[in-house]
Amino acid sequence: MINNILSFLIFLPIILSIPILFFKAGKDKLIKTYTIAVTIVVFILSIILYFGFDASKSDFQFVEKVQWVTDFNIFYFLGVDGISLLLILLTTLIFPVTILAVWNSITTRTKEFYFLLLILEGSLIGVFLSLDLILFYVFWELILIPMYFIIGIWGGKNKYYATVKFFLYTMFGSLLMLVAIIWLANYATPMIGKFTTDYTELRKVSIFMPLNIQMWMFIFFGLSFAIKVPMFPFHTWLPDAHTEAPTAGSVILAAVLLKMGTYGLLRFSIGLFPLTFVRFAVPIAILGVIGIIYGALLCIAQKDMKKLVAYSSVSHMGFIVLALAGMTVESVQGGLIQMVNHGLSTGALFLFVGFIYDRRHTREIADYGGLTKIIPIFASLFLVVCLSSIGLPGLNGFVGEFMILAGSFASPNLHNNIYTILGTIGIVLSAVYLLWMYQRVMLGPVENEANRNVPDLNKREIISIIPILLFIVWIGVYPNTFLSKSEASVKRVIENVEAAKKNILNIY
Amino acid sequence: MLPNWLARPALAGLGLSPGYSFILYLALIFNHNLNFLQFTFENILILFFSLLAVFGALMMVTRKNPITSALYLILNFFCVSAIYLLLRAQFIAIIQVLVYAGAIMVLFLFVIMLLNLHDESKLSEKITYKKLSAILISLLLFSVLAITVYFSYMNKYREIHSSAETIGTIEVIGNELYTTFSFPFELVSFVLLAAIVGAIVLAKKKFD
Amino acid sequence: MLTQQILDGLSKFYPETILSVTILVIVFVELFFKKKTRVSGWIAMAGLAAAMLFTFLQVNIPAQTIFFQMVAVDPFSYFFKVLLILSGFLIVLFTFLSDEIRSSEFKTQEYYALLIALTLGGFLMASSVNLLMMYLALELSSLSSYVLAGYFKKSNRSSEAALKYVIYGGVSSGLMLFGISLIYGICGSLDMFAISAYLSANPVNLITLLIAIFLMLAGFGYKISAVPFHFWTPDVYEGSPMPVTALLSVSSKAAGFAMLIRFFLVAFQNAGHPTITTEGLHQYITLPGLHWPEVIAVIAVATMTLGNVVAIWQDNLKRLLAYSSIAQAGYMLLAFVVVSPQGISAMLTYLAVYLFMNLGAFFAAILISNKYKTENIEEMKGIGYRSPLLCVSMAVFMLSLSGIPMTAGFIGKFYIFSALINNGYIWLAIIGLMNSVVSLYYYIKILKNMFLIRPQGDTGAVSFGAGYSVLLLALAIPTIVLGIFFGPLTKFAEYSVQIFGLK
């Protein structure tokens, strides 16, 4: 089983989602228990994977490779390295946590909801594990369908607009990616000797392609990832999707779906076209910085808590983009750990917004105030999460942001450290908008009488949030548990970039 | 807006049969190399009939009385038939007379009488947007035909092929029809069957 | 000699013969039934099944022409025969299950005869190698479809649609006939092989030839409803009963494509002169100066763009499917631009996939109109919860039509776009994919109404008989399975296009 553990990770949730459809309607509790059991099993599997993973090797491990389409040499090709390992852990952790946290918020069509959730989990894991471009594309697209229904059926007032926008935006990008995949494989055919979409084969030859061709392929790939991240001019779908999605949808969207974009940038854009990425490092960094500052400024102006958290995603994802553009071992390591951090902190922020929304059915900041006295447990845990998102030393956010800024400050690829300096403004701003929001919601006198009777977090909610807090502190105090696993893989990526740079000097 | 006297001849382009004669005429005109103009008796006859056919076509579209129009159309058909004959296509010439000048014309006249048009002004209409586009389309078709003919016969005088005389006979056509083309001939019967079944289906009222 | 030739031909002509006999039997048997019966339907099914059987017997027959080079029996026509029979078979079943036709006061006997006649016409269109044959086959299938379109005249509108269809059909087949006559004038033969031989040996006037090709395209374009010959499509699709619409959108279109492919590849193939272009790829040689693939590219782009853009505004499901089928024809034409075995086999693959997903979509539409008495998308709110199986299948068909992975439509599109990209038509591929994004909008709109909006008024579950479910699944399962295991299909398509000898 350990040899096929990756397939188990992907297909366990997908296959075990089918029995849900045959449960009797109305047996909500059973369905929820079943789903959470499945996700916990998947989480345990991923922990087994973590311990089975050899951190000293930079190659893909637990590789599974089966021919899928013979005439095009498309493979069912899975493998895990340090980069995907962390994201797998994040994904499998977020799912049981979310399900437990939103235990009672889904009341209609429970069966379908949990069915779609499991499908979503399987395909997300598939995205992070696929090493064949077409397989990757298939999982990438597959995610749209459950997400479409999750937002569309259980979403808020403007859900139709949000779903269509979400669907069309991402589809636009991903179809360009399909063109790029076919083009790349086709262009590589004479170099490899056969048409194949095997990532490990393609990355050997892709750096030798003419730069202008590389540039177009890079743009096509990059556009679809940039939309997913979302990078600055392509971010407009995100607030809509977040605001309209049910809590579980928002959490998964923020915690995992956005990581697909940065993962794609790291794995495919840098992995396949390192030189082009170096050429584009500065514009990408600029977009990242714009995202950081613009997102933060928008946050300050928000009146709706969920929208605020959504825009804070834009800002935080900007850091990761900046990290990738820096392309040094520290910055990419930092970016990677920041992906996990963002998943944990922003996921938790959405959960807290969801908790309070479940109690009061409003997300307007102005409706609250002085909640600390009424719900002390909520207030204290919420504060921890806010501080983690801001980047308080000792919590996870600090580690990621520090590494990113330190790594990109000295990056030879950016030529200039102005981007990093501007990026730090984002941290200051994040303190402003999160603490200000905290102050308006939690502190001060209780102005709205309706808030008097808000119950505090119950046991289930506390239990659900504890794993996240645990990891927040763990990464903040001892990040090496995770960084050590990814170090070899990240180093290899950077080495590839450097080698490609040397190569280009030899060629020209 | 185009004046009526210009629009109507243009409309004539739509009717293919008048068009054919026009084309034959143009074929002669466009050959600006005058060497080709060999005024044999045959060529003069062809020229005469094609001019007559054009005249018939023009008269047909400019007449206000539909019956007169129809009669001019018959003139046109006969002229075209004569041209076919001069080109040694006996069979087609006969078919032209039998089918077009005979059957189809009778049908035309029948319809005209059934329509019972007392007032001839019903036929004279204003030039509308629709008509203008019809004019454009007919001009397009005309130019396509003209170009085709012009480029195919540019500066060349084409003798009528010596084998034309034999190919055009009923005997040869019959022979071909029952040997090489026997299969399409059979297929035509199915096309007709489908047409008949269809016609009955569409014509009959619902069943009880 | 003559008898020998005909007897030999007949021995390879069983499927068509059976279909012809079926038509005659239905027309004859009909005389004995005054009332509306299903007998003709069963006869039609039996005929189609027998024809299928005899078609299967031809699976390994070497490529050859019969009846004095009128008709070819080869893997290419075999592929289309299988498609056409499959489609005919499903349409007969649709007709059985359609309330629209069941409640109509018209007898359905001749309906089945015409349906078989259309299939027979399609068979001959796919296999004729003589322009005259081609024209007659086209007429046979067109005539049948005119009548079918106006068969169940419900309203003035549907009669008007049928009339429109006849007029458009008449004009375009007239234009095509004119094109044929020009080609005959140029080449002195109606035989495609002779035309090809003449064109590769003699200098011809390219302008005349191009005009002839344009005129021929009018006929093909009308059959596959490509822009600018598509005007009839939405009206006729909307006006005809749903099974007929499904038939027109699949059988008729497939036959049109078969004819188009064979005409261009056989008649305009400069046999024996493959060259190697700068990209190191073998490229198909067109006549010098005559870039008909470019003409097709323009038509393809116009077709899919128009189909998709106009489909966005449609509220009527049938009309939406009509425009979507115009767009789908555009995608297939796109593959034709790449005149290589890869392109043509991609086209064939797409057609096979299209058969399942489009017929599926129409069948789902039939069931919706049976049960909910509506064709308006806005009135389909929340029906996803009232009949889940139906709507989930509809979702599968819609997603497949838009080309989402794990469905057959994705495989079809994947093959088309890889053919395009492999041959350097990257911008064409991008235009095609942008069109897919646009198309997603209206396919999703249907899903949105079915699943995302709560049902209004009556919310009770609406179920339907086992027969319906079985047929629905018989269409939905291949749509998914072909998205994962498609090796045999693509192999079949590749094998079918080998005869054209493209490099």
Half-sphere exposure of A347 (CA within 13 A, CB side): 36
Q: What does the alpha-carbon distance between residue A115 and residue A292 come to, in Å, rounded to a whole number?
A: 36
Interface of C with B in 108-127 (CB under 8 A): 110, 113-114, 117, 120, 124
Is the pLDDT at B17 greater than 50, yes or no?
A: no
ipTM of the complex: 0.86
- Tell whether A358 is within 8 A of chain C (Cβ): no
How long is chain C?
A: 503
The pLDDT of residue C264 is 86
Cβ proximity of A333 and A405 under 8 Å: no
Residue C326 banded pLDDT, cuts 50, 70, 90: very high
**Topology classification of domain B4-162:** Four Helix Bundle (Hemerythrin (Met), subunit A) (1.20.120)
In chain A, % of residues over pLDDT 70: 99
In chain C, % of residues over pLDDT 90: 31
DSSP string, C420-487: HHHTT-HHHHHHHHHHHHHHHHHHHHHHIIIIISPP-S--------HHHHHHHHHHHHHHHHTTT--H
pLDDT digits (tens, 9 = 90+) for B30-68: 554 444 445 677 777 887 888 899 899 888 877 877 888
Structure tokens at C77: 């026509």
Cβ proximity of A74 and A117 under 8 Å: no
Contact C448 A183 (CB under 8 A): no
Distance from CA of C351 to the nearest CA of A (A): 19
- Tell whether C389 is within 8 A of chain A (Cβ): no
Q: CA triplet A374, A376, A382: central angle to 5 degrees?
A: 120
**Option in A142, A153, A175 nearest C406 (CB):** A142
For residue C433, what is the nearest residue in chain A, using CA coordinates? A175
Q: Which residues of chain C does B27 touch, with a Cβ-Cβ cutoff of 8 Å?
A: none
Q: What does the alpha-carbon distance between residue A262 and residue A257 come to, in Å, rounded to a whole number?
A: 10
**Taking all residues of chain C, what is their mean pLDDT, rounded to a whole number?**
85
Q: What are B's interface residues with C at a Cβ cutoff of 8 A? A: 16, 144, 147-148, 151-152, 179-184, 187-188, 190-191, 193-195, 197-198, 200-202, 206-207
- Tell whether A144 is within 8 A of chain C (Cβ): yes
Is the pLDDT at B6 greater than 60, yes or no?
A: no
Distance from CA of B38 to the nearest CA of C (A): 23
**Element (H or E) spanning A68, and its range?**
strand A61-69
The pLDDT of residue B156 is 56
Domain segments of chain A: what residues? 280-477
The pLDDT of residue C393 is 92
Q: What does the alpha-carbon distance between residue A453 and residue A456 come to, in Å, rounded to a whole number?
A: 9
**Option in B179, B183, B191 nearest C143 (CB):** B191
The closest alpha carbon to A324, from A290, A280, A294, A293, belongs to: A280
**Option in C107, C114, C151 nearest B207 (CB):** C107
Residue C214 banded pLDDT, cuts 50, 70, 90: confident
Regarding chains B and A, contact by 3 or more CB pairs under 8 A is answered as no
The pLDDT of residue C281 is 32
**Taking all residues of chain B, what is their mean pLDDT, rounded to a whole number?**
73
Q: What does the alpha-carbon distance between residue C254 and residue C260 come to, in Å, rounded to a whole number?
A: 10
Contact B201 C110 (CB under 8 A): yes
Query: pTM for this structure?
Result: 0.85
Q: Identify the chains in contact with A, defined as 3+ C-beta pairs within 8 A.
A: C
Strand C282-283 and strand C275-276: the pairing is: antiparallel
The closest alpha carbon to C115, from C131, C133, C101, C128, belongs to: C101
Q: CA triplet A376, A377, A382: central angle to 5 degrees?
A: 100
Contact C133 B184 (CB under 8 A): yes
**Element (H or E) spanning A74, and its range?**
strand A74-80
| Residue C371: other Cβ atoms inside 10 A | 17
Contact C436 A175 (CB under 8 A): yes
Is the pLDDT at C280 greater than 90, yes or no?
A: no
Q: Which residues of chain B does C176 touch, with a Cβ-Cβ cutoff of 8 Å?
A: none
Peptide bond preceding A230: is omega within 30 degrees of 0, i.e. cis? yes
Q: What is the DSSP letter of B122?
A: G
**Option in C421, C434, C451 nearest A152 (CB):** C451
Q: Which residues of chain B does C169 touch, with a Cβ-Cβ cutoff of 8 Å?
A: none
Q: What does the alpha-carbon distance between residue A49 and residue C82 come to, in Å, rounded to a whole number?
A: 49
Structure tokens at C212: 């002839």
Secondary structure percentages of chain B, helix, strand, coil, to 5: 75, 0, 25
pLDDT digits (tens, 9 = 90+) for C369-386: 888 888 888 888 888 888
Distance from CA of B140 to the nearest CA of C (A): 12
Regarding chains C and B, contact by 3 or more CB pairs under 8 A is answered as yes
The residue behind tokens 């499945």 is A38
Is the pLDDT at C82 greater than 90, yes or no?
A: yes
Beta-carbon contacts of C106 under 8 Å, excluding residues fewer than 6 positions away, are B206, B207, C36, C151, C152
**Element (H or E) spanning C43, and its range?**
helix C39-57
Contact C451 A183 (CB under 8 A): no
> What integer is the mean pLDDT of C403-415?
89
The pLDDT of residue A127 is 93
What one-letter code names the amino acid at A447? Answer: E
The closest alpha carbon to B72, from B62, B83, B82, belongs to: B62
Chain B, chain C: beta-carbon pairs less than 8 Å apart: 91
Is the pLDDT at B124 greater than 80, yes or no?
A: no
pLDDT beneath 50: ranges in chain A: none
- Tell whether A145 is within 8 A of chain C (Cβ): yes
Cβ proximity of A143 and A124 under 8 Å: yes
The pLDDT of residue B1 is 38
Contact C211 B202 (CB under 8 A): no
pLDDT digits (tens, 9 = 90+) for C111-155: 899 999 999 999 999 999 999 999 999 999 999 998 888 887 667
Q: What does the alpha-carbon distance between residue C411 and residue C396 come to, in Å, rounded to a whole number?
A: 14
The pLDDT of residue B14 is 38
Q: Identify the chains in contact with B, defined as 3+ C-beta pairs within 8 A.
A: C
Q: Which residues of chain A does C405 touch, with a Cβ-Cβ cutoff of 8 Å?
A: 137-138, 141-142
Residue B23 banded pLDDT, cuts 50, 70, 90: low
DSSP string, A246-288: -HHHHHHIIIIIHHHHHHHIIIIIIHH-HHHHHHTHHHHHHHH
Q: What does the alpha-carbon distance between residue A135 and residue A156 come to, in Å, rounded to a whole number?
A: 33
Distance from CA of B26 to the nearest CA of C (A): 16
The pLDDT of residue C300 is 92
Mutate to test the interface with B, among C6, C68, C159, C182 (most CBs of B within 10 A): C68
Contact C405 A179 (CB under 8 A): no
Structure tokens at C240: 């005809």
Instruction: State whether the Cα torsion C33-C38-C41-C42 is positive or negative.
Output: negative
Long-range contact list for A60-69, CB < 8 A, 24+ apart? A60/A131, A60/A200, A62/A2, A62/A3, A62/A5, A62/A6, A63/A131, A64/A3, A64/A4, A64/A6, A64/A7, A68/A132, A68/A134, A68/A135, A69/A134, A69/C486, A69/C487
Contact A175 C451 (CB under 8 A): no
**Option in B152, B179, B194 nearest C143 (CB):** B194
